[in-house]
A and B are shown apart, each in its own frame.
Chain A
């Protein structure tokens, strides 16, 4: 089955610095890669996603890159702010077809942005 490795498990940066979180996946059938942010005691919320036919996507201070050949994708947050502090999860999704749907999350990265 799919295995998603996420690194680092914790990341501490100074406000204004950039943060990068990396994930690798194993199932070549995975074709959609969302990133979720989960604040303490709250539900996960989608922050950005990328499809397998796209190499990079950007939304303001957040960007995601995908290297299908190497099976890895990364989240980039620029100009970090204290409110960016949360746990970030990457995920890999395999598509429809009978009962083939499967979403696999990474183990998460606790990002702390110090003022």
Chain B
């Protein structure tokens, strides 16, 4: 389906480096959310953006930042990578007008920090 896309698919970095993950929402969706999913756990909410404004933030350190562009795509940036940042990073898009809007997830970016 012409769903949410994420890039890259896989990424290997070393501690202390910086990483940028990208997400393109479904056409017409104005909201993008980011999640971190560690193996065997549920996704943890990092950020939500709607119309380029931050709508919510989870309990993540300031090393994590994000932004949304005029075309509604989004980037998640993580600075000073730690081993514990290794995870699957999921992006989800929704229409965005209501918190009850269905979120559609992308395939994720698998980040490995060595």
Q: Do A and B bind each other?
A: yes
Spell out A's residues near B (CB within 8 Å): 1, 6, 31-32, 34, 42-46, 49, 51, 89, 91, 93-96, 99-108
Q: List 24 A-B contacts (CB under 8 A).
A: A1-B59, A34-B103, A43-B90, A43-B105, A43-B106, A43-B107, A44-B90, A46-B102, A49-B102, A89-B42, A93-B100, A95-B99, A99-B57, A100-B56, A101-B48, A101-B56, A101-B99, A104-B45, A105-B44, A105-B45, A106-B42, A107-B41, A108-B40, A108-B41
Chain B interface residue count, Cβ-Cβ cutoff 8 angstroms: 26
Instruction: Given A49-B100, A99-B55, A102-B56, decide whether A44 and B105 contact each other with a Cβ distance below 8 A.
Output: yes
Interface string of B12-56 (1 = CB under 8 A from A): 000000000000000000000101000011111100100000111
Instruction: Given A43-B105, A89-B42, A108-B41, decide whether A103 and B33 contact each other with a Cβ distance below 8 A.
Output: yes
**Which of B43, B45, B99, B105 lies at the interface centre, i.e. has the most chain A CB atoms within 10 A of its CB?**
B99
Known: A44-B90, A100-B56. 8 other contacts (CB 8 A): A43-B106, A46-B103, A89-B42, A96-B99, A101-B48, A103-B45, A105-B42, A105-B44
Closest to A44 in B: B105
CA distance A98 to B90 in the complex (A): 23
CA distance A99 to B55 in the complex (A): 4
Q: Tell me which residues across on chain B come within 8 A of A89, comparing CB atoms.
A: 42-43
Contact at B42–A108, with CB atoms within 8 Å? Answer: yes
CA distance A45 to B40 in the complex (A): 17
Q: Tell me which residues across on chain A come within 8 A of B8, comparing CB atoms.
A: none
